[in-house]
């Protein structure tokens, strides 16, 4: 599990911090148990929320999870709404993304000995995992919208009203700062990836007030317990097998 803004900590039993050395630097995730299953929890922004979105070491994080044997990733993300269809306090699962990041390393495969991979992103967010989340939400009686286009911006600033209008014209539903390249890197290593979006604010030009990080954090507080229940119910339903095409995404490495 990768916890985003507001979910820098997660209650696991038998929890311990471990250190994983990667080609991109060391990572210190938490390992413990949830629903009698071993789970790796990684705080995307650090346990004290000290890492801004454009400086997250996405490659180290995903590499470390893969090294630990993780094959399915459930992430959380705070998002701003670009549409009346996504209201404050709602939960949503992404199915597509638009990438407007600018300075982040986007791939593990940079040529040479690493090879080249033009990874298929037809279905960026694993539909099999999303279906498990939907079944878990129905079991709990929670409303979760399955399918939204997420636009990822560089951050850490909020977007301008002009940018928001552009994203709306391009078909985006929600906006955030972290899903890319996380979802791409997971696919490059053959891992399933899905993300639960928490609608915590309305974007610039839509909201009738100035945006603030405080508003986002206050909205997340109202969703924390709900999301924690959904994560546990999802983990309880997870199987160890990957019944999807994610696992075969990197079979063509070096063949171009």
Are β-strands 20-22 and 149-153 bridged in parallel, bridged antiparallel, or unpaired?
Answer: unpaired
Q: Could you tell me which residues come within 8 angstroms of residue 52 by beta carbon, excluding any fewer than 6 positions away?
A: 45, 155, 156
By the 10 Å C-beta count (0-12 exposed, 13-18 middle, 19+ buried), 215 is classed as: middle
* Among 217, 150, 204, residue whose Cα is nearest residue 182: 150
Asked whether the CA dihedral 237, 240, 242, 243 is positive or negative, the reply is negative
Q: Taking the model in full, what pTM does it have?
A: 0.91
Phi, psi for 175 (deg, rounded to 5): -130, 140
pLDDT tens readout for residues 202-211: 765 565 556 5
> What residue spans define the domains of the chain?
2-248
DSSP letter assigned to residue 14 = E
Quick one: fold of 2-248?
A: Rossmann fold (3.40.50)
pLDDT tens readout for residues 167-220: 999 999 999 999 999 999 999 999 999 999 999 887 655 655 565 656 666 666
Evaluate if residue 32 carries a pLDDT over 80.
yes
Supply the pLDDT for residue 145.
95
Adjacent-strand bridge partners of 22: 25
Distance in angstroms (rounded) separating the CA atoms of residues 175 and 158: 10
Distance in angstroms (rounded) separating the CA atoms of residues 183 and 99: 11
Evaluate if residue 222 carries a pLDDT over 80.
no
């Amino acid at each position: 599990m990768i916890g985003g803004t507001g979910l820098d900590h997660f209650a696991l039993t038998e929890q311990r911090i471990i250190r994983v050395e990667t080609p991109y630097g060391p990572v210190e995730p938490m390992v413990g148990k949830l629903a009698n299953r071993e789970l790796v929890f990684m705080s995307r922004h650090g346990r004290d929320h000290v890492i801004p979105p454009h400086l997250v070491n996405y490659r180290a994080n995903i590499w470390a999870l893969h090294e630990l044997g993780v094959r399915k990733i459930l992430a959380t993300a705070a998002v701003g709404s670009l549409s009346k269809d996504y209201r404050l306090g709602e939960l949503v699962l992404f199915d597509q993304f638009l990438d407007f990041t600018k300075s982040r390393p986007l791939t593990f495969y940079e040529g040479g000995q690493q090879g080249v991979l033009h990874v298929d992103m037809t279905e960026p967010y694993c539909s099999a995992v999303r279906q498990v989340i939907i079944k878990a939400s129905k079991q709990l009686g929670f409303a979760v919208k399955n399918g939204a286009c997420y636009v990822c911006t560089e951050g850490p600033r909020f977007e301008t009203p002009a940018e928001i209008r552009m994203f709306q014209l391009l078909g985006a539903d929600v906006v955030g700062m972290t899903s890319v390249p996380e979802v791409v890197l997971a696919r490059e290593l053959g891992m399933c990836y899905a993300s639960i979006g928490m609608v915590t604010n309305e974007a610039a030009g839509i909201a009738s007030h100035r945006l603030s990080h405080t508003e986002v954090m206050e909205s997340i507080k109202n969703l924390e317990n709900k999301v924690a229940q959904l994560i546990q119910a999802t983990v309880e339903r997870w199987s160890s097998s990957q019944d999807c095409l994610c696992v075969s995404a990197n079979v063509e490495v070096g063949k171009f």
